[in-house]
Amino acid sequence: MMKVKTFTSELKPFHTMRELETLDDQVNVFLGENKIRKVVSVSDTCTSDDSGATIGIIRVIAYET
């Protein structure tokens, strides 16, 4: 059966690399804890504020159970 999981992270200036690594770690922990063997799709998209500055990231993974 196909399932989808969404992860989010706030992005702050000069901390982006650390925040992306933390997001990667969250996804990897989820995959490991749930013994996910097949990831079908990974998609990232950024969110922005009124001025167009990037303020967050949304990562969606589709996987089979």
Is 56:9 a contact under the CB 8 Å cutoff?
yes
Query: What pTM did the predictor assign?
Result: 0.88
- What pLDDT sits at residue 13? 86
Instruction: Indicate the helix (H) or strand (E) that contains 25.
Output: helix 16-33
Q: Sorting pLDDT into bands at 50, 70 and 90, what band is 56?
A: very high
pLDDT (average), residues 14-26: 94
Is the pLDDT confidence value at 61 over 90? yes
Q: Which domains does the chain have, with CATH numbers?
A: 2-64 (3.30.1660)
